[in-house]
Structure 1
Amino acid sequence: MNEYGVVLESGAVRFERILPGPVERVWAYITDSDKRRTWLASGEIEGRVGGKVELLFKHSEITDEAPPERYREMHDNGWLGHGKVTRYEPHRAIAFTWPGEPEAKSEVTFELAPEGERVRLVVTHRRLANKAEMTSVSGGWHLHLGILADRLAGEKPRGFWSGHGKVEAEYAARYADLPQ
């Protein structure tokens, strides 16, 4: 399986990972604030369609590496964003508008399927405004999902910032032929 995300259509990228199960455990790492804070962001996600989503991105909670200057504020102080749940099927799927500008809400969907003792996680991020946003979002998901895989495997999480520039450059190259 390719670790890199693939473009589905204009403004949409998809990632697949096979993770240690069971499904209930992976679901908890997506929906429970304390578990999610170890690989992505803390905050409440109300378990119902229309429920509120509050994500506090504070990268100092997922890595001890120093960030590039442009991300220092998010790393040290965090950034709080809000969205709404658009799909809710416990232990199968959850989708919500991604925290950001109100008029330009993208949407992320997490879908889980058991595969024996493991779980297939498919993350799809849609309605990304342009190639630059797709590149940035793809690099972020790539790294965050790697940390999630490490957490679920009981391993020391890989570095976030040490891989950031390389991964973002790889996505920029992969998306070079996409329209702006």
Structure 2
Amino acid sequence: MLGTLRTLDDGRIELRFERRLGHPPAKVWRAITEPGELRHWFAQILDYDRFRFDLRAGAEIAFTPAPEFADLGTGRGTITRVDPPRLLEYTWDTETLLWELEPQGEAACLLVFTTTFRDRGSAAALGAGWHTGLDLLTRRLDGAAPGPEGAAVPDELQAAYERGFG
């Protein structure tokens, strides 16, 4: 299912995804907060050997690019809300990322991921990129290999987001 898009009252754009995962919140929490897990599914431009989360409100984050992406520069962010293993919100430059985990029995949870940003023109690319990342997260949690395409956004998925958000 594609993410959903809406414009907020302040003009920012909100992109929201929901995934029902067959894993408890604690396991998903580790996958969204530990650099050793993030490297398998999160933004592939980052240097996870130098990436750290200090999981406390107000902590600063440096999104250091991998050497081959050094020209992008280091992104900056701040942890704005944290309530393990249920809620994590932080900024990444002008984007806000919100991860919510709702238990669904003892062995599953609902992951709601919302990203808020300003540039409506980037919605299709962000939608396809985050969708692909969440697919990789699901595969990682399930113990499956990432697949032959890795983190590449499939052309048909990009096209679907362009049709839906264009």
Short-chain TM bin = 0.7 to 0.9
- Pick from 137, 152, 156 the counterpart of residue 161 of structure 1: 152
- Pick from 19, 39, 42 the counterpart of residue 40 of structure 1: 42
Deviations 1:107-155 (A, max 9, x none): 01000011122111000011x2222221121111100000000000011
Change (3 A) 1:80 1:88: same
- Pick from 77, 87, 99 the counterpart of residue 81 of structure 2: 87
User: 5+ unaligned residues in a row in structure 2: which ranges?
Assistant: none
TM-score (norm 2): 0.82
Deviations 1:135-178 (A, max 9, x none): 12111110000000000001111323261x322221111012xx
Indicate if the aligned counterparts of 2:63 and 2:74 stay in contact, CA closer than 8 A: yes
Indicate if the aligned counterparts of 2:77 and 2:91 stay in contact, CA closer than 8 A: yes
Change (3 A) 1:111 1:57: farther
Equivalent AA in structure 1 for residue 56 of structure 2: R
Indicate if the aligned counterparts of 1:150 and 1:157 stay in contact, CA closer than 8 A: yes
Distance 1:142 1:114 in 2: 21
Shift of 1:82: 1.9
Distance 1:37 1:56 in 2: 13
Change (3 A) 1:122 1:156: same
Deviations 1:66-116 (A, max 9, x none): xxxxxxx54x99864221011111101000112x3xxxx120100001112
Asked whether 1:134 is paired with 2:128, we answer no
Change (3 A) 1:54 1:48: same
Indicate if the aligned counterparts of 1:113 and 1:120 stay in contact, CA closer than 8 A: yes
The answer for the alignment partner of 1:110 in structure 2 is 99
Indicate if the aligned counterparts of 2:3 and 2:16 stay in contact, CA closer than 8 A: yes
Alignment RMSD (CA, Å): 2.1
The answer for the alignment partner of 1:65 in structure 2 is none
Indicate if the aligned counterparts of 1:44 and 1:52 stay in contact, CA closer than 8 A: no
Change (3 A) 1:149 1:26: same
Change (3 A) 1:141 1:57: farther
Indicate if the aligned counterparts of 2:132 and 2:153 stay in contact, CA closer than 8 A: no
Distance 2:2 2:127 in 1: 8
Identical pairs, percent: 28
The answer for the alignment partner of 1:148 in structure 2 is 137
Asked whether 1:173 is paired with 2:163, we answer yes
Distance 2:153 2:128 in 1: 12
Distance 1:56 1:38 in 2: 16
Indicate if the aligned counterparts of 2:22 and 2:108 stay in contact, CA closer than 8 A: yes
The answer for the alignment partner of 1:5 in structure 2 is 3
Shift of 1:16: 0.6
The answer for the alignment partner of 2:22 in structure 1 is 20
Indicate if the aligned counterparts of 1:23 and 1:112 stay in contact, CA closer than 8 A: yes
